[in-house]
């Protein structure tokens, strides 16, 4: 059957730019999938999506005018119900045939076959027929309706059709529909529009209007030549990148446009025929932190700032215009005039903010509501400071304690500045600039910016130890504080980004290999959140004397306070809930990093406290799993675990050599006596691979033990001794990971 290519285009008013890429892909893919499901396209058909500010389109190859006929077999009823003893049709069968538009004449052609329902061999009657394949017009109508219904539209609008009475719902008003199968128009309709071959190009620069599409394959070329539109989103994006690179190269000196995929996608969705132009602004604005200038140019104006070879902002930027006038000076001048007030505002905010120190803003945080159940930002900062000091105390670093406390105290003060009020994305970034302006150390200033890190998957971690401590304290306080008031993530709902905070804590503990237990961090945060009596007394002293003075006058008192704080009793329910949440996130993170479910399960099921050890444990498990003895030992470990679970009470891992009777248990005891010290020494030194490899020597004695020794004998002393031997074996095999999880 001959095929032709298909083109469908929906011409609309300007689509939402941030959604355009997804809209174009969804439209084309759903349309193609529906046609495939109806048998209207070949197996090797290729779909090409098109999306510009004013159109969604799809080009599909190998489309037939009518799908192939298909054999259809329809079960009617059991033979015992359909036919009498002498083979005549029963009233029940005649009624069923009548409902299908058939009569008694088809009875001889009905097929008998075993039903097979319920495992039996009862016969049923089947009616076999040939169903005509779907016509393209019908199939395409169905596909188009489905494609529009499944569009990931951010928000629909209701508008009236030209008849003045009817109204429809769509993302934007639609004004044209093109549907071509080769050269022929396919008779379909949607949103009050009937398909034709005419569409519209660029609002101002199209060579002809309307553009009459000759056939499906000429669409892209005609839109470019006659309509002055690059219809393909991908091609238009690539053209913008090419022009950006070329324009930056003309400036010279290693200058390049800032890289931002989200901005590039948005600009691609705003223009139909891109034209990159070079603009500039006054150098005096470069005195403002470049993050502010870059943000205002990108977010408000959709410009591409130019950076020099060192990554420093220049006073030049690139714009992507949707028109290409012979003299672009007015376009350039207009954009330069537009950006100037934005930069002036940023400079004003920066100059005003520096007139007040960050320290002078601390008290005002008490008036900023953090959460109605967790009170103000000021009180939250007190909790973060307490957690940060406790972490530094446990790391035995007094200087770190001082710097972390100062950074935590000032971490949120830039929220009260004019610059962050205008650009919330700059919180932390501006805090660093203002801290340096106030004469604070680089370590403290960097920590103020970095305590938000990592902000997203793959983001950098804090650059120094002070920032690491404050970032941990901030995220732990958020997690525990919100969990304590019942604000837990549910399904895909996580308004406070608690999953992201948990992953941030996990990444910092693993990648910086902090030598503290995860339970310590969770417990310290719970103490700080659930009771503030102890910390409030010390905080009052700090406010009155300053931390340095308080420590200098009463170092012993500070240490005693922190010792008392970290040893307070923690609510076990809260600790368990937060711990479970953390380890759930850990499992997901490790799976994303390429570890298998078995490997992750084997390690994480042991709940290792030092998260920094986990990569080494996983590597050791992977090496162990490659050993020829691995599967046998994993299966044996699983068997041992099952035996011990059935025993009432606790089985102590102790063996009395005088109660060993069978040769196999004597041999296993001797093998354990040799392997245990080696495996334990390797484990204690952190060489987990060597610890697991030492277990390979146990394969033969373990196999012999299970082949020749009965554990649950009547003699209680023998039974207890053999259980103790198994408990020793279980302990030796599961220090690094639960090896039973590796059993196939």
**What is the rounded distance in angstroms from the CA atom of residue 583 to the CA atom of residue 603?**
11
Q: Are 279 and 317 in contact (CB under 8 A)?
A: yes
Q: Are 714 and 599 in contact (CB under 8 A)?
A: no
Q: Are 391 and 470 in contact (CB under 8 A)?
A: no
Locate all alpha helices (DSSP H) within 546-629, ordered by sequence: 547-553, 555-566, 572-592, 597-604, 614-625
Residue 352: C-alpha distances to residues 147, 288, 347, 633, 737 (Å): 53, 12, 9, 70, 57
Domains 4-67+136-225 and 613-742 share a fold: no
Q: Are 724 and 651 in contact (CB under 8 A)?
A: yes
CATH fold group of domain 613-742: Isoleucyl-tRNA Synthetase; Domain 1 (1.10.730)
Assign 70 to helix, strand or coil.
strand
Sequence-separated contacts (24+) of 623-627 with Cβ below 8 Å: 623/689, 623/692, 623/693, 624/689, 624/692, 624/693, 624/695, 624/739, 624/742, 625/598, 625/599, 625/742, 627/693, 627/696
**What is the rounded distance in angstroms from the CA atom of residue 172 to the CA atom of residue 405?**
53
Place of tokens 């355009």: 20
Specify the DSSP element, H or E, that contains 127: strand 123-131
Place of tokens 């393909």: 232
Residue 265: C-alpha distances to residues 84, 234, 268 (Å): 71, 9, 5
Per 3-state DSSP, what percentage of the chain is helix, strand, and coil (rounded to 5)?
55, 15, 30
**What is the rounded distance in angstroms from the CA atom of residue 518 to the CA atom of residue 514?**
10
b/e code 58-67 from CB counts within 10 Å (16+ = b) = bbbbbbbbbb
Place of tokens 């049923």: 124
Domain locations in the chain? Answer: 4-67+136-225, 70-131, 233-353, 366-585, 613-742
Report the pLDDT value the prediction gives residue 419, as an integer from 0 to 100.
96
Beta pairing, strands 375-376 & 313-321: unpaired
DSSP 156: -
Closest CA to 174 of 319, 54, 86, 275: 54
**What is the rounded distance in angstroms from the CA atom of residue 461 to the CA atom of residue 151?**
37
What is the four-CA torsion angle of 680, 682, 684, 689, rounded to 10 degrees?
-110
**What is the rounded distance in angstroms from the CA atom of residue 25 to the CA atom of residue 47?**
10
Report the pLDDT value the prediction gives residue 554, as an integer from 0 to 100.
47
**What is the rounded distance in angstroms from the CA atom of residue 571 to the CA atom of residue 375?**
21
Phi, psi angles (nearest 5°) of residue 273: -140, 90
Residue 389: C-alpha distances to residues 84, 363, 519 (Å): 91, 20, 17
3-state SS track over 282-324: CHHHHHCCHHHHHHHHHHHHCCEEEECCCCCEEEEEEEEECCC
**What is the rounded distance in angstroms from the CA atom of residue 82 to the CA atom of residue 214?**
57
**What is the rounded distance in angstroms from the CA atom of residue 324 to the CA atom of residue 205?**
8
**What is the rounded distance in angstroms from the CA atom of residue 497 to the CA atom of residue 520?**
22
Report the pLDDT value the prediction gives residue 533, as an integer from 0 to 100.
44
Specify the DSSP element, H or E, that contains 522: helix 518-530
**What is the rounded distance in angstroms from the CA atom of residue 744 to the CA atom of residue 737?**
16
Angle at 292 between CA 291 and CA 296, to 5 degrees: 115
Looking at domain 4-67+136-225, its CATH class is alpha beta
Mean pLDDT per block of 10 residues along the chain (744 residues) reads 89 94 95 91 91 96 84 82 83 85 81 69 80 83 93 86 83 93 93 93 93 95 95 96 96 93 96 96 95 94 95 96 94 95 95 96 93 88 94 93 96 96 94 97 97 93 97 96 88 90 96 94 89 50 55 51 56 85 95 94 94 95 93 92 89 89 92 94 94 93 91 90 92 93 87
**What is the rounded distance in angstroms from the CA atom of residue 425 to the CA atom of residue 300?**
13
**What is the rounded distance in angstroms from the CA atom of residue 242 to the CA atom of residue 236?**
10
Q: Are 212 and 220 in contact (CB under 8 A)?
A: no
Assign 626 to helix, strand or coil.
coil
Place of tokens 């954009």: 335
Per-residue tokens: 712: 């649950």
**Burial (CB count within 10 angstroms: exposed 0-12, middle 13-18, buried 19+), residue 578:** buried
Assign 276 to helix, strand or coil.
strand
Angle at 528 between CA 522 and CA 530, to 5 degrees: 95
How far apart are the two ends of the chain, measured CA to CA in Å? 50
């Amino acid at each position: 059957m001959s095929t032709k290519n298909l083109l469908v285009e929906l011409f609309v008013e300007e689509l939402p730019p941030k959604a355009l890429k997804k809209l174009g892909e969804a439209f084309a893919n759903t349309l193609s999938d529906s046609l495939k499901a109806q048998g209207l396209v070949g197996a090797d058909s290729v779909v090409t999506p098109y999306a510009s500010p004013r159109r969604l389109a799809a080009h599909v190859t190998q489309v037939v005018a009518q799908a192939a006929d298909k054999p259809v077999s329809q079960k009617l009823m059991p033979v015992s119900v359909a036919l009498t003893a002498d083979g005549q049709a029963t009233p029940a069968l005649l009624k069923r045939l009548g409902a299908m538009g058939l009569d008694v004449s088809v009875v001889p052609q009905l097929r008998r076959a075993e039903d097979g329902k319920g495992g039996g061999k009862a016969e049923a009657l089947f009616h076999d027929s040939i169903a005509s394949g779907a016509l393209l017009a019908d199939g395409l109508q169905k596909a188009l309706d489905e494609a529009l219904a499944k569009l990931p539209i951010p928000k629909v609008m209701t508008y009236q059709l030209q008849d003045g009475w009817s109204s429809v719902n769509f993302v934007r008003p639609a004004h044209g529909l093109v549907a071509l199968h080769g050269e022929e128009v396919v008779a379909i309709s949607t949103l009050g529009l009937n398909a034709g071959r005419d569409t519209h190009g660029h609002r101002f620069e199209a060579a002809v209007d309307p553009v009459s599409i000759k056939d499906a394959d000429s669409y892209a070329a005609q839109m470019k030549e006659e309509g002055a539109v690059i219809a393909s989103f991908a091609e238009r994006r690539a053209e913008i990148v090419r022009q950006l690179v070329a324009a930056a190269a003309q400036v010279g000196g290693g200058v390049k446009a800032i890289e931002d995929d989200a901005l590039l996608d948005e600009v691609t969705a705003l223009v139909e025929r891109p034209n990159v132009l070079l603009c500039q602004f006054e150098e005096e604005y470069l005195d403002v932190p470049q993050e502010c200038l870059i943000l205002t140019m990108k977010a408000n104006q959709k410009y591409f700032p130019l950076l020099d070879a060192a990554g420093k902002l220049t006073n030049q930027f690139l714009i992507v215009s949707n028109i290409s006038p012979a003299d672009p000076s007015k376009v350039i001048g207009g954009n330069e005039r537009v950006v100037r007030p934005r930069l002036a505002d940023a400079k004003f905010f920066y100059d005003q903010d520096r007139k007040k120190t960050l320290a002078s803003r601390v008290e005002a945080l008490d008036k900023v509501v953090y959460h109605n159940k967790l009170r103000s930002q000021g009180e939250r900062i007190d909790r973060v400071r307490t957690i940060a000091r406790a972490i530094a105390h446990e790391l035995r670093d007094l200087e770190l304690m001082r710097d972390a406390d100062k950074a935590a105290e000032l971490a949120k003060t830039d929220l009260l500045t004019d610059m962050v009020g205008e650009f919330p994305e700059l919180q932390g970034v501006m805090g660093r600039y203002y801290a340096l302006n106030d004469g604070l150390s680089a370590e403290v200033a960097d920590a103020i910016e970095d305590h938000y890190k990592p902000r997203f998957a793959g983001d950098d971690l804090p650059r120094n130890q002070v920032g690491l401590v404050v970032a941990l304290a901030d995220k732990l306080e958020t997690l525990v504080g919100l969990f304590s008031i019942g604000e837990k993530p549910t399904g895909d709902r996580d308004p406070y980004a608690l999953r992201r905070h948990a992953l941030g804590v996990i990444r910092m503990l693993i990648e910086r290999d902090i030598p503290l237990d995860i339970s310590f961090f969770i417990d310290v945060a719970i103490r700080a959140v659930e009771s503030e009596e102890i910390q409030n007394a010390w905080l009052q002293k700090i406010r009155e004397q300053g931390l340095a003075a308080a420590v200098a006058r009463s170092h012993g008192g500070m240490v005693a306070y922190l010792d008392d704080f970290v040893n307070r009793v923690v609510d076990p329910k809260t600790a368990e809930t937060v711990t479970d949440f953390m380890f759930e996130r850990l499992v997901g993170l490790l799976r994303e990093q390429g570890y298998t479910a078995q490997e992750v399960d084997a390690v994480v099921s042991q709940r290792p406290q030092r998260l920094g050890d986990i990569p080494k444990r996983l590597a050791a498990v992977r090496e162990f799993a490659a050993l020829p003895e691995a599967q046998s030992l994993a299966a044996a470990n699983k068997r041992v675990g099952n035996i011990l679970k059935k025993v009432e009470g606790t089985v102590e891992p102790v063996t009395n050599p005088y109660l060993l009777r069978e040769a196999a248990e004597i041999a296993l005891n001797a093998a354990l006596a040799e392997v245990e010290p080696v495996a334990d020494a390797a484990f204690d030194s952190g060489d987990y691979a060597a610890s697991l490899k030492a277990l390979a020597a146990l394969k033969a004695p373990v196999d012999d033990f299970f082949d020749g020794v009965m554990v649950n004998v009547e003699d209680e002393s023998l039974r207890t001794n053999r259980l103790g031997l198994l408990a020793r074996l279980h302990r030796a095999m599961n220090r690094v990971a639960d090896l039973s999880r590796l059993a196939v």
